[in-house]
Amino acid sequence: MPNNYKQLIENNKSWAQKKKEYSPGYFENLKLRQEPNFLYIGCSDSRMPLDTFTQTEPGELFVHRNIANQVSITDINFLSVLDYAVNVLRVKHIIVCGHYGCGGVNAAYHGFARGLVGNWISPIRDIARKYKEELDAIQDEEQRLNRLSELNVLKQVGNLYKTHVIQQAAAEGKLDFQIHAWMLDLSNGLIMELAFEKTQQKAPLKSN
């Protein structure tokens, strides 16, 4: 694992050289435009670069990441990304992706976080309170936190439907994209899709 920033630059040079050798026109084509089919909303966790797990190339994913993959309807940064993805890039899929072992979910559940981080993840505490009975019935703490991570992703999908961007697209009959709820299991590198009501999320469902 690199611990010197100069190593990152050297790695970049090596990567770029290999790309040019394998595909001489790679960077010429890359700089022309971006036409991604996917908007990825994920966690800032350093273990969560979805392009690695999905073997996608630069230009194939439009990305927004924050602590614990929150869809905040008051976050202008996120709303701008969503607006651009839907109305300019015309993405075909919007993915909210959480992961098991999420530090933000764990901190929210145990009340560890303070300051701005504590404020940011406070909605997860609300989810934990809402589903307290279900969560308390899970004896193993790791599995309990995993379920809370799933509930968090499903809640964020619900928040997507509350945004002006999505509601306007629906009102104009331009809801020509699909919304997905994903969980990444870092213990095996696999993605699992969660089920939810496709029109307007009313209550989280069991994972597939």
Q: Does the active-site annotation cover 114?
A: no
Kindly give the pairing relationship between strand 38-43 and strand 93-99. Answer: parallel
Q: Confirm whether 83 is a catalytic residue.
A: no
Please give the Cα distance from 90 to 34 (Å, whole number): 11
Q: Which residues have CB under 8 Å from 144's CB, separation 6+?
A: 135, 136, 138
- The number of residues in the chain equals 208
Q: Which of 45, 64, 147, 180 is catalytic?
A: 45
Conformation bin of residue 3: beta by default, left when phi > 0, alpha when psi is -120 to 50: alpha
Residue 184 CB partners (closer than 8 Å, separation 6+): 48, 50, 53, 97, 98, 99, 100, 190, 191, 192
Query: Cβ(127)–Cβ(72) under 8 Å?
Result: no
Active site residue 97: no
Considering the candidates 64, 99, 147, 180, report the single residue annotated as catalytic.
99
Q: Is 99 a catalytic residue?
A: yes
Does 126 qualify as catalytic in the annotation?
A: no
Active site residues: 43, 45, 47, 99, 102
